[in-house]
Chains A and B, each alone.
Chain A
Amino acid sequence: MRVLMVEDSQRLVQTVGAALRKVGYAVDVTGDGIEGLWLAESNDYDVIVLDIMLPGLDGLTLMQQLRQHGRNTHVLLLTARDTVADRVRGLQNGADDYLVKPFALDELLARVQALCRRAYGSKQTRLVIGDMELDTVARTVTRAGHPVELLAREHLLLEYLARRRGQVVTRNEIEAHIYEGKADLMSNVVDSAVCTLRRKLGAVNPTPLIHTRRGLGYVLEVSGT
């Protein structure tokens, strides 16, 4: 999952950005409204965490322009403005959620996660594919009832593939959503990550869940379906 954070407090950007990365999100950050709009229009983010009072371009205008340009990326407004009128204005201008500073870090992470689920049209926090069960809240994976230990990035990759089960997911999409767009086109970081994931899932049950579509990408599904 890829998140854009537009916030002019560098300290907040550092802490929240680090927290989002720790739970596996690919995070881009900027402290300027104009650059934030450019990033939001140039990339396919799952969620944008957006401050309102920004230099260059304020958050509400940024969001309006984003919506006018046809972008439906989920936006979480993160701001010090706490009145009902502010919240209403923010939501009416196209925000999907609103969080007032100061906030609990866990709440922010949960809201980002909820918006990510909505991005894929699902409200389920437990994804079951064959004998694999993935809990996106507890961040646990089991196969045939046995726990599978995954790193945060691996967990996120599995969740991304699981939410698009049965669909072919290209390497570029994986790079964009999981690796902050930083993966070199010639590198095999995606292939390596998929390989590791296959190995960990296959340790319990050798029946493959992640299948390669040559020249296209990967698809997560139970064999024979």
Chain B
Amino acid sequence: MNSIRAQLTRRLILGTVLLVGGGGAGAYLCMRAALINQFDDALRAKAQAVSAITELSADGDVELDLPGFQLPGFRANSSRDYFEIWRADGTVIARSDSLGEAHLPRPNPASGRPSIWNLDLQPGIPGRALSMTFAPRASDEITRPGPPVILSLVTASTRRELDRTLRAGMLVLGGGVAFLLLTTISLGPRLLNRVLRSLDTLSDQAARITASSLNTRFVTESMPVELQPITHRFNDLLARLETSFERERQFSADLAHELRTPLAELRSQAEFALKWPDCRAPNGNTETLAIALHMEAIVTRLLALARTENGQILIHREVVLLAAMVEEVWCPLADKATARQLQAQFQLNKAIQAEADPDMLREILANLLSNAVDYTPIRGNVEIVLTTANGHFALCISNTVQGLNAVDLENMFGRFWRKETARTGTDHAGLGLSLARAFAEALGWKLTAALDGPACLVMTLAGSLGERALENDGKNSEPKLH
């Protein structure tokens, strides 16, 4: 299982092993090199001291300047330091008393250069030796220099102290490394648990979220800085999900509610007809058909809305005369407007053409104009103005309204939204403006609502005239009349 905690624990221990182990080994090697250098320097100084007191006499003998010279380490009862001097022919000239009957290994006289090596001085006594060649100092009695005399010298010292020190150092460093590793292994997971507790909290909070608790939000303040952006994103996501779920729930409820009344009408009509077959209303079939058409209109509009929002609707763009389309849509509404004594005014530039899908444009206009006629109070005003500028058109439909506010302007494009409390008794299902806006957006236009004072609603359909419409305008060619 891919676990952050396990990964971090593994990496923490591996890192500690590498760092502490490497550091310990490095420290040991440095210490060892320093101690051996120091040891070698001491060995070299002893060799220098021995060579310095070696003298060539006038009769060609080589003797130590101080015959009784013995450094404390070279004494017979000492087993710490040793030296031995040879002539070039291998004759031993001098040796330390500490050697007893033993001899040091004679170096190759041809090498000339001093060399240092480890050796066993006696069984079980490790040592380190230095060999060098040198010319002994000539005696003051020699007046005429003879042929040069080269002697070989080997000095050696026991390594017991050095090795003991190195072992002690290794023990201390190894112990330190082991202690650190054990500490890391035992405390690391606990520390990680403490550090990762925020992740556990986040996980617990996330596990408690269900479709019915989308109003839950992650607590951001107590989270580490690194996790705060994640919790912010989660909260944003939850807010969007909540809105989306709420919208879906509301939509389902609205749809069910919208269909309940026509279903009740149908059912009661059918049951009445079954219960009292002779008393069926003469217009019963007409009423049944009207109910079916109303329900069909709801379903058709919902499907059109869904297809438009999913980009599945086919758009057939043509150049249309906007004013002619407005008049065509207004025509069947004119009688109702007259019956309601509405004062309708038109300011339409009849030459304005736009590139649009005629069916979609007709649907948009039908919704806007029928809303204006049905919802304008009796003897109210309806004004329709069509203008153009810079390749864009604006169709403004203004009408008198009562009790509409800014919140309504935001909500009126929502599905099944209607200002009035009653949801039956009219042909409107609350889907017209949603569909009109979806169609407008599919055509690349905008449909907006605004209040011009407290009692005047202005619906504005605006957008580009389209290249083909502008070309037609330049050529004065005849667009299609729909």
Interface pair B422/A105, CB less than 8 Å apart: no
Taking CB atoms, residues of chain A closer than 8 Å to B420 are 55
Taking CB atoms, residues of chain B closer than 8 Å to A22 are 275-276, 279
Interface pair B272/A18, CB less than 8 Å apart: yes
Q: Does residue A15 face the partner (Cβ distance < 8 Å to B)?
A: yes
Taking CB atoms, residues of chain B closer than 8 Å to A8 are 422, 424-425
Interface pair B421/A105, CB less than 8 Å apart: no
Taking CB atoms, residues of chain B closer than 8 Å to A31 are 425
Q: Does residue B269 face the partner (Cβ distance < 8 Å to A)?
A: yes
Interface pair A104/B424, CB less than 8 Å apart: no
Taking CB atoms, residues of chain B closer than 8 Å to A54 are 421-422
Interface pair B272/A103, CB less than 8 Å apart: no
Which of A10, A16, A19, A83 contacts B275 (CB under 8 A)? A19
Interface pair B264/A103, CB less than 8 Å apart: yes
Number of A-B contacts (CB under 8 A): 82
How far, in angstroms, from A22 to B257 measured CA to CA in the complex?
29
Q: How many residues of B contact A (CB 8 A)?
A: 27
Taking CB atoms, residues of chain A closer than 8 Å to B279 are 18, 22
Taking CB atoms, residues of chain A closer than 8 Å to B257 are 80-81
Q: Known contacts A11-B265, A81-B257, A101-B264: does B421 contact A18 (CB below 8 Å)?
A: no
Q: Does residue B88 face the partner (Cβ distance < 8 Å to A)?
A: no
Which of B271, B287, B425 contacts A106 (CB under 8 A)? B271
How far, in angstroms, from A32 to B480 measured CA to CA in the complex?
46
For the side of the interface on A, what is the size category? 20 to 34
Closest CB of chain A to B388's CB: distance in Å? Answer: 40
Closest CB of chain B to A10's CB: distance in Å? Answer: 7
Taking CB atoms, residues of chain B closer than 8 Å to A104 are 267, 271
Closest CB of chain B to A220's CB: distance in Å? Answer: 29
Within 8 A of B (CB), among A79-100: 80-83, 100
Which of A10, A15, A83 contacts B268 (CB under 8 A)? A15
How far, in angstroms, from A101 to B253 measured CA to CA in the complex?
13
Taking CB atoms, residues of chain A closer than 8 Å to B340 are none
Q: Does residue B316 face the partner (Cβ distance < 8 Å to A)?
A: no
Q: Does residue A68 face the partner (Cβ distance < 8 Å to B)?
A: no
Interface pair B423/A16, CB less than 8 Å apart: no
How far, in angstroms, from A15 to B266 measured CA to CA in the complex?
10
Interface pair B272/A105, CB less than 8 Å apart: yes
Interface pair B260/A9, CB less than 8 Å apart: no
How far, in angstroms, from A22 to B275 measured CA to CA in the complex?
10
How far, in angstroms, from A58 to B421 measured CA to CA in the complex?
7
Taking CB atoms, residues of chain B closer than 8 Å to A18 are 272, 279, 281
Closest CB of chain A to B298's CB: distance in Å? Answer: 13
Q: Known contacts A55-B422, A58-B421, A100-B260: does B271 contact A105 (CB below 8 Å)?
A: yes
Within 8 A of B (CB), among A10-45: 10-12, 14-16, 18-19, 22, 31
How far, in angstroms, from A196 to B117 measured CA to CA in the complex?
146
* Chain B proximity mask over A92-128: 1 for CB below 8 Å, otherwise 0: 0000000011111110000000000000000000000
Which of A15, A55, A83, A101 contacts B269 (CB under 8 A)? A15
Q: Top 10 A-B pairs ranked by shortest CB distance?
A: A80-B260, A101-B264, A102-B264, A105-B271, A55-B422, A102-B263, A8-B425, A9-B424, A11-B265, A15-B268
- Mind listing 13 A-B residue pairs with CB under 8 Å? A11-B290, A11-B291, A12-B264, A12-B424, A14-B287, A15-B269, A19-B276, A53-B424, A55-B425, A80-B264, A82-B260, A100-B260, A102-B263
12 further interface pairs, Cβ-Cβ under 8 Å (given A8-B425, A12-B265, A55-B425): A9-B264, A11-B265, A11-B290, A12-B424, A53-B423, A54-B421, A80-B256, A80-B264, A83-B253, A101-B261, A105-B268, A106-B275
